[in-house]
Structure 1
Amino acid sequence: MPARDAVFPAGRHALYEAHGYSAAVRSGDLLFVSGQVGSRTDGSPEPDFARQVELAFANLEATLAAAGCGFDDIVDVTTFHTDPENQFDAVMAAKQQAFPAPPYPSWTAVGVNWLAGFDFEIKVIARIPAKA
């Protein structure tokens, strides 16, 4: 079995090393991205929920870019929410920014009671575009 082909965005290696996981793993033409959260530069949660969601999407974008992908390459999304009903509007606003037009990726939203101090997390699977 080949070794994992780990992908990391610039500047966030310590976060992943401290917790023992990769930001993403490339397997063939697929990219499996670990859950991204809305952390500030010091790793702490952004207290404003809408901003936390925006930062999670920005961290996702940086991880995708490190593998040569973008939001258009995402085929599957899973999001985790600590209060889905009250967080819906902020999440939908960020979703509309990332995916403004069809075709949309498949999407599963899961309500949870703990995200290590965060209130939102997003993980995706993307297809890595072929090099021209």
Structure 2
Amino acid sequence: MATRDVVFPPGRRALYERNRYSPAIRSNGFLFVSGQVGSLDDGSPEPGLQAQVRLAFDHLQAILAEAGCTFEDVVDVTVFIVDPASKFEAIWSVVPEYWGAAPHPTLTAVGVTWLYGFDFEIKVIARLPDAAGA
């Protein structure tokens, strides 16, 4: 098996190693980013909903930047929301701060009952800039 080309964001490697997963993997011209949550430095949830969403996006941006990407390179997004009926509007009001202009990436939103104490998680697939012409 080939060695995985892992991308670690600055300052969070120990958190990922402790939890035994990779934050992102480069493969075949794409960056596959694990679900990002609004976790504080110790891994615990940011208590405020919109602050938690912003922190999840900040963590996502750090991983994208480490791989040489921006949100403009994102082609597919999956979000997981605990109790979306009551939280979707508050969460989605934060998205324009990060999302960028149209055309937007594809999106799948999934309502879930549990996210390890978090209310929101976002995972993406991005095209690596050096593969843009591929």
Interval containing the TM-score (normalised by the shorter chain): over 0.9
Normalising by structure 2, report the TM-score: 0.93
Structure 1 residue ranges (4+ consecutive) displaced by more than 6 angstroms after TM superposition: none
Task: Name 2:84's counterpart in structure 1.
Answer: 84
Give the Å deviation of 1:120: 0.5
Secondary structure, aligned partner of 2:110: strand
Any conservation in 1 of the 2:82–2:115 contact (CA below 8 Å)? yes
Normalising by structure 1, report the TM-score: 0.94
Give the Å deviation of 1:114: 0.8
Take 1:116 and 1:84, find their aligned partners in 2: how far apart are those partners?
16
Question: Is residue 97 of structure 1 aligned with residue 104 of structure 2?
Answer: no
Give the Å deviation of 1:118: 0.7
Give the Å deviation of 1:72: 0.2
Task: Name 1:16's counterpart in structure 2.
Answer: 16
Task: Name 1:126's counterpart in structure 2.
Answer: 126
Q: How many residues align?
A: 131
Question: Is residue 72 of structure 1 aligned with residue 92 of structure 2?
Answer: no
Give the Å deviation of 1:79: 0.3
Task: Name 2:33's counterpart in structure 1.
Answer: 33
Any conservation in 2 of the 1:36–1:60 contact (CA below 8 Å)? yes
Give the Å deviation of 1:100: 3.3
RMSD: 1.2
Structure 2 runs not aligned, ≥5 long: none
